[in-house]
Structures are given as structure tokens and as C-alpha cells.
Structure 1
């Protein structure tokens, strides 16, 4: 019977119920819009009571006017999701809120959405456990990956979901658990994502029952044992991700059946054996097996894989030649087969399609010439074939490839010159050519490769003069030319390379005088000009340098050695120069009275005059500073101030302004002065004072009088102030320093923070109080600081890149709990920025990630590198830059040089860390090494770093002795770790 034929009263009731149902749905949707916040443009602008709710953005209705779908994925929503209300919608089949910033719990009301077929709550910031959802029997798609869920996932709920097709629960900090047996009965499953969710134990053989799977991702867990042979039953697999586990054994027979496999990654495991089982997988597009123990040859069949574009096999024990046709079929992207025992030639056609970006084959036994085909590969960004047995010339065009960041052909048997093509290498940052047979004159055109940061031409046969315009390389920080046959003078233009820290030109035939301009290099750390034919006097300007290495030996230098260089640290630095004299170094002849005694008297008089002048200047400066401080104090009170609070304030601006005076100064930095303020109630605060103009230097403060350089300085300080306020005003995290308010005027700005009475981590580790940190405290500081950075990267509405992570920016409260501080260089990543990166150079020497050297782009992974340096500081107790590191220059390279034996590794652990905790310290050091990997995309996220650090929690060691040797010495048969009692 149609509605038109129903009795009038019944029809009236029906329409009333229908209207009531629609009213309830409208109210539910309005409640939802009221519970969530949306940034501009507001997704809820169309959600109005006067608008039909089926027209609401993200809402879909069926033919009867009932809501069947709500999809608000990726809308940058914040707030708590009212699931109890949403699940009253009787016809709801699709609910999608993935890729937002929702928080709070996922409530049990979700279990009332009984008709749901599609549920996406992934990539949010929920709290607590995921509820039991056994009532959702019709569910086919379940996405809760990356949603900050913890505790135990309700695996038993899956028993009723026999139609489940997609299950994505990875990237959540669940407690450790074995692979859930309930999943093995989901026979319709096509997509299983369980990466980074604390699975332990083995992959069950029952995985072979899920023969409809096209994607299986189990990476970044604690899976052990061998890959089960039953994996070969998954013949529809398109992607298999097993990397970063503890898998052992060989590839099982049957892997060859996965002929539809396109993406396979089993890197960072303990797998062994050969790769022969993979030679049948002709549809592979990307294959990554690095950091394993594979041996044998790379199957020749790999050369016939017509879709292969990425191949990463580095750090294994592979041998034999690479297939000649490797990478010649598809638009090949990159190859990395470094650190193996490969022989034979480099495959010539990997850039045949003109798309190759990286060719990495260092540390093998490759031979033959570099194929000329790569001279035309304009897409190449990295070309590294060092430490092989390659011969012949470097093809001319390679020198000038426009996108190359690095050319590394060191430690081969290459010959021939560097050609003038290098003038086209506009992106080249690193040029490593050492230990070859390269020869000829250095082309003048090398000075046009203006992005060069590091040049190493040592141990070759280069001859002729050093290009006069080499000083045009303004970004150059390291220049090695030792052990060649270079002649002529050292170019004076080198004195304009303000970033130069390492200059080595030993064992050449250089002549003429040492340029005095070298003494003006502000960061020069190492200067070696020994074994040349240099003449004339040692420039007195070198006295201003702070060198860890100085070697001018075996030249033809004459005259007096400057007094300030006549110190024990430079013993042997001047030997082999018979024309030199000294009044203090006994191994040299004393300067004659004519040249020495008169000079001594003259020097004494000059010194007395200088001392008197300095005393007068100091007195004048003190008076000026005193007056300026008083003027500043008076001017602060005269200014009109604007207070913007970000917390509940218990103080007034007058209390803050009264405390900005010299006796309260506790620190000075590039961003401004920092003062300690004690309020009348005894509470302590820290206040950063930033002058908006150059008034902090004593100049006038009126903007109309500011010259162009001053405007630039003002703009820079303003940007730093804005960055710090924008970053910290919205952040609420226990491990990020709390900003109470900003107080601004026309000429200066004040930032009021919580006060950290225990200073910085740098102070505790490296200054007078460094003995106060035991290992447990260091570990807690590492975890807390990591959580703070994790929040910045993953917990904010938009990721925040700190850009100056270092131990001096990790402050410690009264309980030694850490706070990330100093956000003057921070950058909030914009939604439309390219790859979330910035081109602005920032950071501190020793903590700066290596990608600065060739791209000057940074993203979150640059913070990860800097944090890795901090972890190394915590474990070793050493500074990022120490003279003892020698040629390695920084702690990262020094640590990597000490990893050859277990004894070497134990030797770099801080001696103040007790023996029972050294194993735990090494676990943290491993995390630091992962964080400081050269390639940014191989570094973990801060979320992964936190998880790894939590897994490395200090434990008590219990050694179980089961027998003794012939000498009665106990043999340790087992070592178990027991968590310390609370």
C-alpha cells in the first residue's frame, strides 16, 4: 500500500515520526559541529540549522534523507569527537575523521554504530585505549593507524568482522603483544598495516591463509625468527614491508611465487643467504634489503626487471658483478649497493631514461672505467663510487652536471684532469677526489661552482697554480690539497672564505709568502702548510686564530716566530725552517740583539701603552654601559607596553619591568639578554629582553633614524621574536618551556618564561657541575626532551621545526626534568610549503645536519639529527666539537670511527657511567647513531625515537652462572634484564 492510500491519522503519525527523526539527525550534526573546531576556511560554515543537513559539507544522505556518511578527513579539525552522539544516527555506514588533530578518548559509544562499513580515525592524537567494537560486524574498512592509541587493542572484536578488507592499526604505542591469531581468520583481508605497533615473537605460519592480501606491512616491530615458508601462498601481494625487525635466516623457498610483488623491503634485519629466490619477481619496482648479511651474487635476472627503479642493497656481503642491463628498462631512480664486495664494472645504462638521481656504490671492489653515459645524466644529485678499483678518466660532463650535490670518487685509480665543465656545477656542495692519480692544473672555472662547501683533492698529481679566484667560494668550509705538486703562491683571496675551518696544503711546491689574510678567517680550526717552499715571515695576523692544528714545518720561513704562537701546543709546528728564530722556544736560534733585543724593548713599550689604553677604554666602557643600563631602565618604564598573556598571570608588568637590570642578568644570546626575576611572592621567572632596533648596542631607537643595515637587524630580531611567540603561545607540553606572556612596545619586547633553576643540559654535562648527572637521570632527560620534540613535530596543528636543538637549549627544572627552550629560530611548517622545508640557514656548529652542506633545506629530520648529537653527548660526556676528534672534527664522525669492535664502543661511554649501565648507554648510543644517519629519509621520526628510547629503559642485569672454566672462573651462560622496582 502506498503512502497516499494510508489512513489520514496513520499518515499523520508517519510524517510526524519522519520529521522527528530528521530533527534528531540535524541536532546530532549540530552537536558534532559544536564539539569540534575548524580553522579557516571553516568546514562547518555550511552546517546551519536553516540549511538542509544533507547539504552539509562532508555529509551524505540516502534517498530517504537519512545520514549514511560523514567524511571530514584531512580538515585540520581539533577537539573531542562525540562518538556517543554520532552513533545515534541510525543509518550511518561511513565515518571518516582521519588526518586531523582530534584528541581525547575514543568512547565505547562507537560500538553503537552497528551499520558502519567504513571507519577511519587514523592519524589523530587520541588518548587511551581503543574500545571493544564487536558489534560492528558489518565493518569492512578499519583505519586507526597513527592515532596515539596505547594499551591493548581489542583483537577479539575482530572475530565478528568476517568481511573485513582493510585493517590499519600501525604506528600506535600498544604494549608488546604477539601476532594476533584473530587476524588469521579474516579471509577477505586485502590490506594489513601493522607497522610500528610493538609486535613481538614470530610471524605465524597461518599468515599463508590470508591469500587475498595485496599489502602486508609489519615493519618497525620486534619480530624475530625466520620468514615463514607459507608467505609464498600470498600470490596477490603487491607490497611486503618487513624492515627494521630482528628477522633471521634465509628467504624461504616459495618466495618466488610472489610474482605480483612490486615493493619489497626487508632491510635492517639479520637475514642471510643469497638472493636467488627473488630472481623470479620480475614485477619488482623497488627492492630494499640494506643492513643485512646477504651474500652471493646479485642475480643476473635483476638486469631484466623492466619495472625496477629503486635498488638498495648496501651493507651486506654481496660479491660478483652487477647485471650489465640493471636499471636500463624503466625510469630508474636510484641505486645504493655500497659496503659490499662487488666486482666488475658499473652498469652503463641506469640513466638511459634520463631520470636517475643517485648512484651510490662506495666501498666495493668495482673496476673498469666510469661509463661515459653518466656524463649526460643531468638529473643526478649524488654520485659516489669511492673506495673501489676504478680506473681511467672521469668523463668530462660529470664535473658539470647541474644538479649534483656530491661527487665522491676518492680512493680509486682514476687519472686525468678536472675539466672546465665544473663551472656548470651550480649545485655541487662536496667534491671528494683524494687518493687517485688525477693530474693537470686546477681549472679557474672551479671558482664558479659557488655552492662548494668541502673540497678534497689530496694525494693526487695536480700541478700548476691554485686558481686565484678560489676565494669566490664563499661557502667553503674545508679545503684539502695536500700531497700534490701544486706550485706558485697561496691565493690571498682565500682570506675572504669566512666559513673556512680546515685548510690543508701540505707536501706541495708552493712558494711565496703566507697571505696575512688567512689570519682574518673567523672559524679556521686547522692550518697545515708544511712541506712546501714558503718564504718570508710568519704573519703576525695568525696570532688571532684559535687553531687546534698548526703546521708550518719544512718550509723556508724566516724571522721571529710570533710570541703568541710560541706555545707548547704548537711544538714541532715550525721545525725545518732554519731561518726562524725565537726568544722562547729553545730548539730555535735566539733572535740577534739587533733584531731581537731592540724588538723586545720596543714590544715592551708597546705593550705598556696598549695596557694603559685598554684600561682607559675599559673604564670608559664601564661608565658608558652603566649609563646605558640606567637609561634603558628609565626608558623601559617610560615606554607604552602591550601585554599579551598565554597563561593565567599572577604578576604585573611593573614587577617584570622593575627587574630588568644588570644585577639580574643571567645570560646573553644572539636573540637577546635573559634576566632572572623574583616576584614578591617568591616565585622565579626568566625574562628574555629583545630590542626591536639596534638600541641594545647604544644607538638611537627611532625607526625614522635607522639606516638600512639597522632595518635588516631589526627585521631579523622581529622575525625571531615572532617565531618564538607564535611557536610557544599555542604549545602546552610538560617538556617544552612554558611561555607566560609577551610584553611589547615600539622599541623592545619581553618574553616571560618559567624559570629553570638547574640551568641547561650543557652546563650539567660540560661545565663545573658535570659530575651531578647519573645514568638514570641522563636517560630520563633524553626521554623527556625526545617527547618534547615529538610533540613539536607530531602533536601541533602544524609541525614545528626547532632548528637549533642542542644541549644548551634543553633546560632543567628543580627535579632535573627537561624542557625544550629557545625558539628564536623555530619555523612552523606551512601547509603549502614544499616538502615542509626551509632554505634559511640556522643552527649551531656541531649540531647542524649534513644536508646543509649541499641543499640548505631543513625539515623535521634536521632536528632529529641535532637530537642524535645530544644523545651522543649524554652517553659519552663529550662536547660536539673537541680537539681530540682530530680530522673527524665532530662527535658524530668520532663515534662512527669507534664502532669497529665492542671494546672500542665500550671505550667511548662516559667513564662516570657505572659498568652495569654501560650496556643501556650503548643502546641509547645506537639510537643516536640512527638519528645522525647522513641521509635524512633514513633517520627515524621523533615518534619512533621516543618509542626506541622507552624500549631502552635502564634495567638491572642479572647474570646466571651455570658452570666454571678450568681455572675456576665463572662462565656467564645467560644474561637477563629485569626492570628496576619503582
Structure 2
């Protein structure tokens, strides 16, 4: 008995050892075969860089090679060479790949593999997982695609360039649980046979240009389906009511199609539904819920961009997991349920572009980590809730184009996470909480078209890039610093002060609008630092001085509005290099000729109400230029020609001659006129010396002889007229109480001291292109104000000189009709007042006859 037992034990031990040796031999054979196959694959893939570790000379096991996974027996069961984690493969799939008999998992996603569908994979009989997504496959999926492994549960062909129809054979793969065909170029149809895949849990057909098609009724058989993604699949018709049977659905996405009709009430009863996306369709009607809402697991609802009407269901306030509610661009009416404000998970609420009324839920933000609310373009009234930032995550409020009123809640001023405020076009009032202007994360503030008041801080938040406060009641100084501000729109407020220190602190501006305020002073020349500026509006303020030449150095400026100010001087020729599609310089006091390159028909309305501008282009609605025009000066001279003509006529009359001792210009500096000093005396007998017993006239315009002699002639009027010419060219008053000498004495002093005439003339015209003519008129004024009457020209001579200067050729224009102007530049005696007033002494300044 003992011997028999021993023999049995020996037999079993021998059998076990034989089996172990056999298995080891078989394993060695498999190992040798799979290693050889891997090296063959490498050769067929032409030594792609990702396969550098696939090397027979290395001591490591092939199971440790990049992308290779082995079973316990050493057979290769997994190849994962996705291009996200390894260098990309750019060669077709080798036919030898399926020689790996135990291969069950193949992931070649995110590569650049070209060619048609790899039918060689039909030979991978053990394959359960196949991912060929994100490659460059083209053409159609073959009609016999069901020849792929019958064990296949996961097939991902997404993000390629497959086209044509999805073949019905795809529905004959009974084990398929996940079918991903999204993001291709399928332009035919998708088969109803997909509904035969009873084990299907996830179906993705999104983003394909399919022929218009409804959702096949067979899809109602997919009772295990948890994920359905058919965005932008050219779906038409209605959402079938049988969706209520797909109780396993977790995500339903039918967005961006042409679906019509109402949302089936059964969808709101799906017990596992978490994500519902039906946006951008043509769905209509109200949202109907049978009984109470059953989809209590809902976290995200997006039914925006449809034609849904009616009100927001009160039952939405029962969705304790709801974080996202998007219903914008619909036709919703009624009030927002107050219960929405009590939802503990709500983070993002977007209801804009509807017809909602009432007030915002007063508890909004108090019970959740709300971060965004957009309810613009509705009819909502009332105030902003004061608890929006209570959750500590609030970043954005967009409520423009409503009927809201009241003040901005002080709590928003302490909301450190806030970065976007858009409350324009409401009826808000009062001052903005100070804390908003110091919020470190604030990037956008749009508050236009309200009734806000108060001032702005001198320094705005560093991160602020867009500030629009147009059409309010803000006052005080314009902020001088905002390091990253790109758009600053503050027109139609009550800002005052000047821009001297403003522009250098806003160097990144692209658009600046300060029109319709009370800003004074000049336009700073350092605006040349605004190299990114495209739009500049400083219209309807009280700006004075010249348009700075620096405007011409703004390389990308396309829109410029400086209208309705008090700007003077000429238009800088440097502006001609700008590519302006909009220009408005109207209603100023600009003078001179418009630069030639700005005399385009595109600017026909750009220069209106500038009486002293001229142009060659008649379409610009300004006078035509005459040679020698220099803006206000030329206009003044034309009036003087008219006045002088009348004087000469009167003096030549045989019956009555008048002595006009006071020829003034109006206080605005541009419209000269004969003042009331005229007609001071009428000669009784023509040709006889005139006498006066009373001195009549304005000091500063009266000739010196009026103070010591009763024997006066027309040279008194010549003197007064000379003073007017000096006023025109210097911009100074005839008799300034703050100075020790009158204008004529001051002008002669400048000549005797050798002052540059450019420094003596009015700063408003010293840069005029007609500077030569201005100089001649100044010198003529000096001749007319000679202290000795005998050395002054006659009125006829003055008129002749001015006529010569005003002719289009103007080449013979001299300060004296037949006189050499050189003596004006030097003095024989060094003193204008030496010599007897009436002795005709020639020792003073001479104008050679």
C-alpha cells in the first residue's frame, strides 16, 4: 500500500514538472515571437523616433520598451503610442501589428498617421480597445467595418477626416459600449442600426456635416446609454418623447442643430441626468414639467439661443446641485423665481436678452459661491442685491439695458475678486463705492448712460483695461494714471481742469473720449507717447491754443474729433500723414490753409465754422485760398481794405473831409472796425489847415502831435491805422495799463533792440506759412507810427501797399509803395524821440522816397 502511494506521488510530481517545463518553453516561444514582431513593426514604421528604445541590443526586456505592455506570460497585450506623451508617428499602421496574437489594447491617438481606414486591423482578433483619434485618416469607413474584433468594446475614430456615410455595419458590433465618431467630415447619414448596439453607453456623433436627419426612433432602444453627444450634427425635427425612457442618461447634448418644437416634459424627469445642453436650436413653447421635477441631479442646464417663451419654472429652485443656468437669447417673460437665489451650488447665471421683469432675487449670492451673473437686455427693475459677493468668488456682473436704479451696493466695493462691471444704460445714481476704484483684479468697468456722480481717483487700478463712464455726472479732474488702460470713454460728464499731466500716465490707450466736458487749457504735445491710440475725441470742451504737431506722430490714429473748442492757429501739416477715416475740426478758430492732403472729399464736413480757414477744394465748405492768406490776419486785412477805401474817398471829397483818429479792432482779435473816435472833426474849408480845440480819441491810437498841436492832417489817421496793424500782427493791445509804453513805442523798441520779428508777432500766427506777409504788415505798422507826421506815408500810399500785398502774385509787395524797406532795420540816431516834433528833421528812422 505504501509503495502504491509513493508511485502515485512520484507520478503527479513528474507530471507537474513536465507541465512547468512545457509552459516555460511555450512562454519562451511567445516571448521570442512577440519580440521579433515588435522589431518587424519598428522596421515597417521606418524607425520612428518614438521607437528608439525598441532595440534588440539592449539588455532590458521588450516589455519595458516605450509604449509596450505585457501580460504575466510575457505576451504583448497593450501598445500605447499616443502622440500626447511621445513623439508623433507619421507613417501608416504596419500590417504586422496584428501578428501580436494577444493584443487587446491599441492606442495610436494624437499622431499624424495618414491614409484610409486601416483594414489590416481586422486581423487583430483579440482587440477590445481601439483608439485612432486625432490622426490624418481620410476617406470612408468601409462597409465591412464589422469585421473588426467581435470583442471590441471601445472604438474611437474621432477627430480625423473621414467622410461619406457611417456604414450600417457599425451596428453589427455587438460588444461595442463606446462609439466615438465626432469631429470628422461625414457628409452622408448616420445609420439607425446604431440603435441595435444594446450595450452602448456612450455615443458621440458631434461636429459632422451630416445630411439633415432626425433622431432615429431606434435610438430609443439604447436603454443603457449614459452619454449622447450630437452637437452640430444637422439634426432636424423634434426631440422625440421616447427620451424619457433613457433613464441612464447622464449627459444629453443636442445643441447647435435645427430642432424644433417643445422640450419633452419627460426630459425633466430623467433621474440620472446631470448635464442638459439644448442650446442654439429652434425650440419653442414654454418649459413644461409634469408634476414636480424629477431630474434632481441636474448640475448644468443650457437651453439658450432658442425661441422658448413663458416663465422660468419655479421647480428650478429645487435643483440643489444646479451650478449653471443658461437661458439667454429666448423669449422668456415674468420674474426670476426668488428660489433661484437660494440655490446652494449656483455659480453662473445667464438670462440676458429676454423680456424678464421684476427684481433680481434678493438673496442671490448669499448661499452659494456665485461668480457670474448676466441679465442684460431685459426689463428688470429694482436695485442690485447686496450679497452678490458673500460667497467670496464673485467676479462679474452684467446688467446693462434694464430699468434698474439705486446705488451700487457698498459690498461690491470690498469685493476683491471682482473684475468685470457692466451696468450701463440703467437709472443708477449716486457715487461709486471707493473700493471699486482700488479693486486689484478689476479689468472692465462700463457704467455709461446712468446718473452716477462724484469723482474718480487720480490713480486707477493697475489691471483696469476698459473704462466707459460716458453720459453721467462725474466731475473733478480726469485721472492721470492707469498703467494698463486701453479704452477710456468719459464723454458728456462734468470733468474740468486740464490735460497737462493726464496723457503721459495713460500710455497704453487705444481709444480716448473726453468730449462734452469742461476741460480747459491746451492739448499737451506729449500726447505723442500714445503710440497705440486709434480714436481721440476731445470735442465740445474749452480747449485753447494750437493743435500740437505731435498729433501727426500717432502712427495708428484713425479717428480724430477736436470740434467745438477754441483752438487757434493753423492745422499742422504733420497731420496729413495720418490715415484718418474720421476727422472733425469744426467750430474752432483755426486759420490758414488746410494741408493739401487733408483737402479730400472724405472731409467735406470736417472744417465747418472756422471762418479763417481756406482751401483749394471747394467741396470743403471753406473759402478759397488767395496767395498770402494767413487765417485771421488775411480776413482782418480784407476788412481794412474796405475801411481804407472809404477813408480815401472821403478825404478826396471837395465838400467834406473827416479825420478818423481811432481805428480799432474788436476785442476778439479778428474783426477790425472803425471805432467811435471817428468824425471827431469836420474841415470847414477843404484844403486849409485844420484846427481843433478839444482832444478826442483813445490813448494808444492817438498820434503824438494830438497832445501838443492844433494843426492836424490825415497823418493822424495814418498813425491810428498803423497801431491797428501792429495790434493785428502782435496780438497786443494798443494801450496796456500794465506796461510803461504804448504799443507803437513797444514795437519801435523791438526793432531798435534787434529783436527777431518772429518773437515779436502774435504766438498764434508765428508758425503761419504766410510769415513773410505778416512781417511786411508789421513793418508797415511801424512806418505808419513814425513820430514825425512828415515821415508817415499817406493813406493812399498805405492802401496801395496793402493792395499789392493782397494780389495773387504779391511779388512786388513792399512796406512802402516806392520806398526801400532796409531803413526799417536800422536807426541813424538810436532814438525815435529826438528832434523837434514839427521840424521835419530826418535824423530818425528813414523810409527812403
The alignment's TM-score, normalised by the length of structure 2, stands at 0.64
Q: How does 1:15-54 map to 2 (within 5 A)?
A: 19-35=28-44, 44=53, 50-54=59-63
Pick one of 155, 162, 179 that aligns with 2:168: 155
Tell me the distance in 2 between the aligned counterparts of 1:465 and 1:601. 32
Deviation track 1:20-45 (CA, whole Å, cap 9, x = no partner) reads 44322221223334555999997846
* CA 65–563 in structure 1, closer or farther in 2 if over 3 Å, else same: closer
Q: Partner residue of 2:275?
A: 263
Pick one of 138, 144, 154 that aligns with 2:151: 138
The number of residue pairs the alignment matches comes to 599
Tell me the distance in 2 between the aligned counterparts of 1:47 and 1:298. 68
- Segment of structure 1 superposing worse, 131-140 or 279-288: 131-140
Q: Do residues 385 (structure 1) and 415 (structure 2) align?
A: no
- TM-superposed deviation, 1:564: 4.1
Tell me the distance in 2 between the aligned counterparts of 1:365 and 1:36. 65
Q: Which segments of 5 or more consecutive residues in structure 2 lack a partner in the other structure? A: 1-10, 592-608, 616-621, 624-630, 637-669, 671-724, 731-760, 774-849
Q: Partner residue of 2:102?
A: 91
Q: Partner residue of 2:466?
A: 454
8 Å CA contact retained: 2:37, 2:96: yes
Tell me the distance in 1 between the aligned counterparts of 2:496 and 2:24. 100
Q: Partner residue of 1:120?
A: 131
Q: Do residues 484 (structure 1) and 487 (structure 2) align?
A: no
Q: How does 1:612-691 map to 2 (within 5 A)?
A: none
- TM-superposed deviation, 1:449: 0.7
- TM-superposed deviation, 1:482: 1.7
* CA 386–3 in structure 1, closer or farther in 2 if over 3 Å, else same: farther
Q: Partner residue of 1:249?
A: 261
Deviation track 1:596-630 (CA, whole Å, cap 9, x = no partner) reads 6967797448899xxxxxxxxxxxxxxxxxxxxxx
Q: Do residues 366 (structure 1) and 376 (structure 2) align?
A: no
Tell me the distance in 1 between the aligned counterparts of 2:391 and 2:77. 53
* CA 51–364 in structure 1, closer or farther in 2 if over 3 Å, else same: same
8 Å CA contact retained: 1:464, 1:485: yes
- TM-superposed deviation, 1:46: 8.4
* CA 558–221 in structure 1, closer or farther in 2 if over 3 Å, else same: closer
Tell me the distance in 2 between the aligned counterparts of 1:360 and 1:416. 23
Q: Partner residue of 1:276?
A: 288
Q: RMSD of the TM alignment (CA)? A: 3.7
* CA 174–496 in structure 1, closer or farther in 2 if over 3 Å, else same: same
Q: Partner residue of 1:306?
A: 320
* CA 518–533 in structure 1, closer or farther in 2 if over 3 Å, else same: same
The alignment's TM-score, normalised by the length of structure 1, stands at 0.55
Tell me the distance in 2 between the aligned counterparts of 1:22 and 1:493. 78
* CA 4–549 in structure 1, closer or farther in 2 if over 3 Å, else same: same
Tell me the distance in 1 between the aligned counterparts of 2:371 and 2:47. 40
Q: Do residues 356 (structure 1) and 370 (structure 2) align?
A: yes
Q: How does 1:181-580 map to 2 (within 5 A)?
A: 181-199=192-210, 200-277=212-289, 279-326=293-340, 328-352=342-366, 355-376=369-390, 378-399=392-413, 401-444=415-458, 447-467=459-479, 470=480, 472-518=481-527, 521-542=530-551, 548-555=558-565, 557=566, 559-562=568-571, 564=573, 573-575=586-588
SS at match of 2:502: helix
Tell me the distance in 2 between the aligned counterparts of 1:230 and 1:558. 74
Tell me the distance in 1 between the aligned counterparts of 2:55 and 2:343. 51
**Could you say which structure has the higher helix fraction?**
1
* CA 43–225 in structure 1, closer or farther in 2 if over 3 Å, else same: farther
- TM-superposed deviation, 1:432: 0.7
Q: Do residues 75 (structure 1) and 82 (structure 2) align?
A: no
Deviation track 1:840-870 (CA, whole Å, cap 9, x = no partner) reads xxxxxxxxxxxxxxxxxxxxxxxxxxxxxxx
- Segment of structure 1 superposing worse, 58-67 or 498-507: 58-67
* CA 521–424 in structure 1, closer or farther in 2 if over 3 Å, else same: closer
* CA 478–6 in structure 1, closer or farther in 2 if over 3 Å, else same: closer
- TM-superposed deviation, 1:443: 2.8
- TM-superposed deviation, 1:490: 3.1
Tell me the distance in 1 between the aligned counterparts of 2:69 and 2:230. 35
Deviation track 1:76-95 (CA, whole Å, cap 9, x = no partner) reads 34133535212122222222
* CA 271–374 in structure 1, closer or farther in 2 if over 3 Å, else same: same
SS at match of 1:25: helix
8 Å CA contact retained: 2:421, 2:445: yes
8 Å CA contact retained: 2:564, 2:586: no
Q: Do residues 166 (structure 1) and 196 (structure 2) align?
A: no
Q: Partner residue of 1:582?
A: 612
Tell me the distance in 1 between the aligned counterparts of 2:58 and 2:170. 37
* CA 435–34 in structure 1, closer or farther in 2 if over 3 Å, else same: same
* CA 519–441 in structure 1, closer or farther in 2 if over 3 Å, else same: same
- TM-superposed deviation, 1:550: 4.0
Tell me the distance in 2 between the aligned counterparts of 1:364 and 1:495. 40
* CA 44–355 in structure 1, closer or farther in 2 if over 3 Å, else same: farther
